[in-house]
Amino acid sequence: MPRVDPSEELRLVVGLQPVREALRVHQRAVSEVLLQRQTPRLEGVERLASSLGVPVRHVTRQELDQRSSGAQHQGVVALAPPLPLLTWTAVCEEPLLIALDGIVDPQNFGAVVRSAVGVAGAAVVWGENASAPLTPATFRASAGAIEHARLCRVPSLVGALTDAVSRGYAVVGLDGHAEAALHDVDLTGPTVIVVGSEGKGMGRATRKTCTTLARLNMTGTVDSLNASVAAALALYEAGRQRR
Pick from 197, 186, 199: nearest CA to 238: 186
**Length of the chain (residues):** 243
* In CATH, 3-83 is 3.30.1330.30: yes
Q: Domain segments of the chain: what residues?
A: 3-83, 86-242
User: Could you give the 3-state DSSP secondary structure of residue 36?
Assistant: strand
> Which among 140, 234, 151 is positioned nearest to 191, based on CA atoms?
234
pLDDT mean over 89-116: 94
Kindly report, residue by residue over 27-64, the tens digit of the pLDDT.
Answer: 999 999 999 987 788 899 999 999 999 999 999 999 99
What's the pTM? 0.89
pLDDT digits over 10-24, tens only? 899 999 999 999 999
For the domain spanning 86-242, the CATH number is: 3.40.1280.10
Sheet strands side by side (includes 32-36):
11-14, 76-80, 32-36, 56-59
